[in-house]
Chain A
Amino acid sequence: MSDALEQSVQDAFNEPACATNRAKSAAERKKGCAKPLTPGAAAGGCAFDGAMITLQPIVDVAHLVHAPLACSGNSWDNRGSASSGPMLYKTGFTTDLTELDIVMGHGEKKLYRAIREIVERHAPPAVFVYATCVTSMIGDDIAAVCKAATEAFGTPAIPVDVPGYAGSKNLGCKLGGEMMFRHVIGTMEPERTTDTDINIIGDYNLSGELWQVKPLLDRLGIRILGSLSADARYRQVAQMHRARVTMLVCSHALIGLARKMEETYGIPFFEGSFYGISDTSEALRTMCRMLVERGAAPDLLDRCEALIAEEEARAWAALAPYRPRVAGKRVLLYTGGHKSWSVVSALQELGMEVVGTSVRKATETDKARVVEIMGTETHMYENMAPREMYQTLRDAKADILMSGARSQFVALKARVPWVDVNQEKHEPYAGYMGMVDLVRAIDRSVNNPMWEDVRRPAPWDEPRPFAGHRPRLQDRCPVSGFANDPKDFEDC
């Protein structure tokens, strides 16, 4: 690891705004919050993956991966971040280093040429250059190449020096944010500002989730000035420093960025979530309160409350028809760190029972909430091995698994319904309307008649009356004249 990278990682771990970090001793803090990865028993993405997750949704930027093929070739075009305009972010750019490039040290030159080709062909507002394990190890100085390319081609080339081996996906998310803070944020000034300009950090507009919430903001007259990186334009990242308030969505990873924005530019931030009804309301409430504190017209608060009352009533009315269809269903919740307790409480409100939840990345506060909501600790699962989960599901201890794509097939092979609630999901579940969509998805999945069919015993596993059972004779036996009866048939 280069000194610069080493320092970035250390800084990322030293996060005063993070409650978990604050609770640690100085010595523990120095160790960082990344759990060491266990060879042979690790699953999950690398730091590079995390940086891509955070930054790739910036839709008008060209994302160039400086690596041999695997880093980009095996991962591109697989995320559901939606764009309302430019589609350049969906194009996979890589330097595709060959053995000769690596041995002869041609990496930097090839990178420089690749940047030029992108600028000439696509004229993007910026090119993000991602370092990876191999190019870091052979010592390609992507920062220097980016500097030279920026000067030569007049388009910002931004080094994202987050190679995979630096650590976990989570760390990569943090460092991705840090790279934006160092190289992009504050480099452009908005044409105009309003006193209701906000930043949204940590939302990626998966399947259009941002747009499930945006109409609410539109109605309140709140403008998304800066975005990292839901449906974001490069300009929206570069101008983030002029917003009045930052909302940090479901993300501990980018808390460092939010804190630095507060320290450097005086933009206060809050953590909120758009998953679940009460959390959505709470986020809107906090957002409006903080905007008013920073000088927005105070009537925003009243308008916000009126909107919340209206939307909550509408959402519950839309959910009511699903109650009889999902009530009594037992849910096993197996997701990463952040749980949306608001979603859990909405499911419980509809009569569903949350029979278990994973606490593998959860904080102590999260665990306390589990006990509070479910009454006991017995249903908290630490890291659950696939076989164990399969058995739990196969034993019909849950009617549905809500999790990320990695446990999808554990559920399916156990013949148990599964709803995707992680970042790879194909349906948006944010805001009030998203909660209705989520319950609809649960209903559609758990009440699909396919489950009954797929669990049916095969003909050869069913008890048979006798080996030579033959199909029924129609009407009457032509010989005996007896009415149709399988036994009679044997006689004729």
Chain B
Amino acid sequence: MARLTRPRRALSTNPLKSSAPLGAALAYLGIEKSVPLFHGAQGCTAFAMVHLVRHFKEAIPLQTTAMNEVSTILGGAEQIEEAIANIRKRAHPKFIGIASTALTETRGEDIHGELAEIMARRKDFGPLKLAYASTPDFEGAMEDGWASAVQAVIDALVPEIDPAWRDADLRQVNLLPSACLTPAEVEEIVRMIRAFGLKPIVLPDLTASLDGHLAEDWSGASLGGTPLDAIPAMAKSAVTFAIGESMRGPAKLLAERGHMPVQVFPSLTGLKAVDAFVSALMGVAGVADAPPAIKRDRARLQDAMLDAHFQIGGLKYAIAADPDLAYALSSALAGMGAEAVSAVTTSAANPILELLPCGEVVLGDLGDLEEGARAGGATLLISHAHGRHAAAALGLPLVRAGFPVNDRLGAQDMCRTGYRGTRAFLFEVANAVLSHPHSPRPEEFGAAPISPEFEHDRPQTAPH
């Protein structure tokens, strides 16, 4: 449906994109006792870390190989080795996920080879697991970096199994959530899977690490996540569900290792999308009915659709987000009769962009969002927190979605997936519309103001 356009200009005004290594780091943080490691200069890490800290309001273990001028020129293998040794000493991680940055990729290094050599030589690193994802900042966006990291983890940790040993009756399923899903959203999807008597393994699983909980002890590594033992076991699952088109690559790799079917759900927001997922769960569980709680959630969503369509039907809005998130939210709103007058996204790599319910998708920035919203007469904006400047300039309400949401609390609790999350999302949008009430004025209709002679001569104060 949508045509992707790249503005012919040199300048990016108010960036929309978060970089790919940041996405990779976030994915690594969804693994038990892990520390993400950026192979790059110190600043790359510091900016990404601050970004993550402000979004999650949590301490984020994120390390750097601290490349300097000399090591950049001569090669960074020693820096990596030293970094791993130091991280082991300080944080005792079980897993270190490495993400490259623009600096090291511009130089070009054979990290895979170097890592194999290091691990063979350093027996003292013991059972520590490593994964390496190539995530140059100059290519793709956060969701691409996330997907690359998940792909790297699967590649490094999931063995290929002999299909003869597959247990067809195993009620275990793999869930690969894309970068746009919050911990609360993954939790909701897990709840739905469990409701059908299935046992999910989530990779990566931020629900245990960045859901915002107070831990009993200080940890220099991630506070939880997918157990390292569970990752190889994913090969034996009955099916792999990927949520978000950006996760198709990792899902395919996992399916190759485990010889299992794969189903990619581009979105779990909106009645139709969730119906498709529930239908798939019923298939895997081998049931023709759903648990009462799921049925009730669906009936509630239907009612929310009826209540919210007065505000959302005919609503003109502008959205700026990574492709998977943009698709999830805009397809749900399109189903409610809203019109995306402007859609801006970050990465051309995701084919889901073609299905965005919008004539044109701009590979651009928040400056494009502001212009598109103004030109299209939008009355609502959807973007991450930096969209607040455009919202203020245009005098419009902003629904915060994506990363970062650093000027509000509870970003990790926002849930817009599943029947329940969709219901909350519809109310969120409708309430944003209602929060900017429109008071009709005579001049809007072209009516002359009332004659002053009719006005009461004494000043009237009223608390409105």
With both beta carbons as reference points, the residue of chain B lying nearest to A489 in the complex is identified as B261
Chain A residues numbered 387-430 whose CB sits less than 8 Å from any CB in chain B: 412-413, 415, 428
Chain B residues numbered 410-460 whose CB sits less than 8 Å from any CB in chain A: 439-442, 444-451, 453-456, 458-460
Asked whether A236 is an interface residue with its Cβ less than 8 Å from the other chain, the reply is: yes
Asked whether A13 is an interface residue with its Cβ less than 8 Å from the other chain, the reply is: no
Q: Which of B282, B440, B458, B463 contacts A460 (CB 8 A)?
A: B282
- Interface stretch of the complex, out of A244-252, A356-364, A462-470: A462-470
B458 and A123: CB pair below 8 A? Answer: yes
Asked whether B13 is an interface residue with its Cβ less than 8 Å from the other chain, the reply is: no
Please give, as numbers and ranges, the residues of chain A lying within 8 Å of B190 by CB-CB distance. none
Chain A: residues with CB nearer than 8 A to chain B?
A: 60, 82, 84-88, 90-91, 121-125, 190-192, 207-208, 210-212, 214-215, 218, 223, 231, 233-236, 412-413, 415, 428, 433, 444-445, 447-450, 453-454, 456, 458-460, 462, 464, 467-474, 478-479, 489, 492
Chain B residues numbered 91-123 whose CB sits less than 8 Å from any CB in chain A: none
Minimum C-beta distance from B9 to chain A (A): 35
Shortest 4 CB-CB contacts between residues of A and residues of B: A208-B440, A448-B337, A214-B447, A471-B263
Cα of A273 to Cα of B387 in the assembled complex, Å? 46
Known contacts A412-B306, A453-B335; 7 further A-B pairs (Cβ under 8 A): A211-B441, A214-B442, A428-B440, A448-B313, A459-B275, A467-B287, A478-B163
Minimum C-beta distance from A328 to chain B (A): 19
Query: A215-B447, A456-B272, A478-B163 known; A448 and B336 CB under 8 Å?
Result: yes
Query: A211-B447, A467-B287 known; A60 and B461 CB under 8 Å?
Result: no
Asked whether B271 is an interface residue with its Cβ less than 8 Å from the other chain, the reply is: yes
Asked whether B359 is an interface residue with its Cβ less than 8 Å from the other chain, the reply is: no
Q: Which of A91, A212, A235, A236 contacts B445 (CB 8 A)?
A: A212
Minimum C-beta distance from A209 to chain B (A): 9
Minimum C-beta distance from A197 to chain B (A): 11
Please give, as numbers and ranges, the residues of chain B lying within 8 Å of A214 by CB-CB distance. 442, 445, 447-448
Query: A91-B464, A211-B445 known; A85 and B455 CB under 8 Å?
Result: yes
Minimum C-beta distance from B410 to chain A (A): 28
Query: A91-B463, A454-B302 known; A233 and B450 CB under 8 Å?
Result: yes
Minimum C-beta distance from A475 to chain B (A): 8
A125 and B442: CB pair below 8 A? Answer: no
B454 and A233: CB pair below 8 A? Answer: yes
Query: A450-B313, A467-B288 known; A90 and B305 CB under 8 Å?
Result: no
With both beta carbons as reference points, the residue of chain A lying nearest to B239 in the complex is identified as A471
Minimum C-beta distance from A307 to chain B (A): 13
Please give, as numbers and ranges, the residues of chain B lying within 8 Å of A453 by CB-CB distance. 270-272, 305, 335
With both beta carbons as reference points, the residue of chain B lying nearest to A490 in the complex is identified as B168
Query: A211-B444, A412-B306 known; A473 and B464 CB under 8 Å?
Result: no
A474 and B451: CB pair below 8 A? Answer: no
Cα of A192 to Cα of B256 in the assembled complex, Å? 89
B336 and A450: CB pair below 8 A? Answer: yes
Give the size of the chain B interface in residues (CB under 8 angstroms): 61
Please give, as numbers and ranges, the residues of chain A lying within 8 Å of B458 by CB-CB distance. 123, 125
B278 and A86: CB pair below 8 A? Answer: no
Interface of A is mostly: loop
Asked whether B262 is an interface residue with its Cβ less than 8 Å from the other chain, the reply is: yes
Q: Which of A86, A87, A450 contacts B337 (CB 8 A)?
A: A450
Please give, as numbers and ranges, the residues of chain B lying within 8 Å of A469 by CB-CB distance. 282-283
Asked whether B408 is an interface residue with its Cβ less than 8 Å from the other chain, the reply is: no
Chain B residues numbered 258-275 whose CB sits less than 8 Å from any CB in chain A: 259, 261-263, 270-272, 275
Asked whether B309 is an interface residue with its Cβ less than 8 Å from the other chain, the reply is: yes
B442 and A208: CB pair below 8 A? Answer: yes
B459 and A123: CB pair below 8 A? Answer: yes
Please give, as numbers and ranges, the residues of chain B lying within 8 Å of A231 by CB-CB distance. 442, 450
Query: A448-B336, A459-B290, A467-B287 known; A218 and B448 CB under 8 Å?
Result: yes
Asked whether B284 is an interface residue with its Cβ less than 8 Å from the other chain, the reply is: yes
Cα of A1 to Cα of B423 in the assembled complex, Å? 51
Please give, as numbers and ranges, the residues of chain B lying within 8 Å of A215 by CB-CB distance. 445-448
A456 and B275: CB pair below 8 A? Answer: yes
Q: Which of A60, A428, A462 contacts B460 (CB 8 A)?
A: A60
Cα of A183 to Cα of B284 in the assembled complex, Å? 77
Query: A207-B440, A474-B262 known; A87 and B464 CB under 8 Å?
Result: yes
Please, could you name 16 A-B residue pairs with CB atoms under 8 Å apart, sorted by A?
Answer: A60-B455, A82-B439, A121-B461, A211-B440, A211-B444, A211-B447, A214-B445, A231-B450, A235-B455, A236-B454, A444-B313, A450-B306, A467-B287, A474-B252, A474-B261, A479-B259
Please give, as numbers and ranges, the residues of chain B lying within 8 Å of A456 by CB-CB distance. 271-272, 275
B462 and A86: CB pair below 8 A? Answer: yes
Asked whether B334 is an interface residue with its Cβ less than 8 Å from the other chain, the reply is: yes
A458 and B275: CB pair below 8 A? Answer: yes
Cα of A123 to Cα of B458 in the assembled complex, Å? 7
Minimum C-beta distance from A88 to chain B (A): 4
Asked whether B314 is an interface residue with its Cβ less than 8 Å from the other chain, the reply is: yes
Cα of A82 to Cα of B282 in the assembled complex, Å? 53
Cα of A469 to Cα of B449 in the assembled complex, Å? 68
Please give, as numbers and ranges, the residues of chain A lying within 8 Å of B255 by CB-CB distance. 474
Minimum C-beta distance from B238 to chain A (A): 8
Please give, as numbers and ranges, the residues of chain B lying within 8 Å of A473 by CB-CB distance. 261-262
Please give, as numbers and ranges, the residues of chain B lying within 8 Å of A433 by CB-CB distance. 445
With both beta carbons as reference points, the residue of chain A lying nearest to B160 in the complex is identified as A478
Please give, as numbers and ranges, the residues of chain A lying within 8 Å of B309 by CB-CB distance. 445, 448, 450
Minimum C-beta distance from A236 to chain B (A): 5
Cα of A460 to Cα of B49 in the assembled complex, Å? 45
With both beta carbons as reference points, the residue of chain A lying nearest to B306 in the complex is identified as A412
Asked whether B289 is an interface residue with its Cβ less than 8 Å from the other chain, the reply is: yes
Cα of A464 to Cα of B444 in the assembled complex, Å? 55
Please give, as numbers and ranges, the residues of chain B lying within 8 Å of A122 by CB-CB distance. 460-462
Cα of A123 to Cα of B290 in the assembled complex, Å? 64
Asked whether B279 is an interface residue with its Cβ less than 8 Å from the other chain, the reply is: yes
With both beta carbons as reference points, the residue of chain A lying nearest to B241 in the complex is identified as A471
